[in-house]
Amino acid sequence: MRDPDSWEDPNEFKPERFLASFESGQEDALKYIPFGSGRRGCPGVNLSYIFGGTAVGMMVQCFDWKIKGEKVDMEEAIGGLNLTMAHPLKCIPVARTLNPLTL
Ligand code: HEM
């Protein structure tokens, strides 16, 4: 994921980089593979994109989020296969309304 041959500024947090659709071709298809690839690739990929978007949308629409302190500390911990936060983020959801019909 952080291969400078594949990504511009690979260590910068730039989620908008994924807005641009990939050009077709095997080389581009293998730049981003959270669901694996090929014959054993994840069969739940389409479902996950739908539910992932829905879940994030609901969390943003239905809740305000409180954190300890002013800002999220994005420092990373070393080691492990996955990227880990050095200071795990604890969030407290606060319902925007108790009446879901008003959302
Ligand atoms: C964010 C959600 C998900 C992620 C990131 C994810 C990721 C992955 C990855 C990386 C693999 C291994 C692919 C490989 O070896 O190349 C995999 C396999 C698999 N996933 Fe998912 N997955 C997700 C959701 C789901 C869902 C919702 C389902 C089912 C409804 C599912 C069913 C499977 C199955 C059955 C396999 C094994 C495929 C095989 O070995 O042939 N996954 N997934």
Give the tens place of pLDDT for each residue, 3-22. Answer: 888 888 988 888 888 776 65
Q: Which amino acid is at 9?
A: D
Partners of 64 in the beta sheet?
94
How far is the centre of ligand 1, averaged over its atoms, from the C-alpha of 43 (Å)? Answer: 6
Identify whether 12 is part of a domain.
Answer: no
Domain extent, residue 65, equals 33-102
Give the count of domains, the chain: 1
What's residue 23's pLDDT?
59
How far is the centre of ligand 1, averaged over its atoms, from the C-alpha of 19 (Å)? Answer: 23
Identify whether 8 is part of a domain.
Answer: no
The contacts of residue 91 (CB under 8 Å, 6+ apart) are 65, 66, 67
Residues 30-85 pLDDT 10s: 777 889 988 999 999 999 999 999 999 999 999 999 998 899 998 988 877 778 89
- Is the separation of the CB atoms in 96 and 62 below 8 Å? yes
91 labelled binding-site residue: no
CA distances from 35 to 2, 40, 49, 72 (A): 17, 10, 11, 27
Identify whether 27 is part of a domain.
Answer: no
Tokens read off for 41: 């690739």
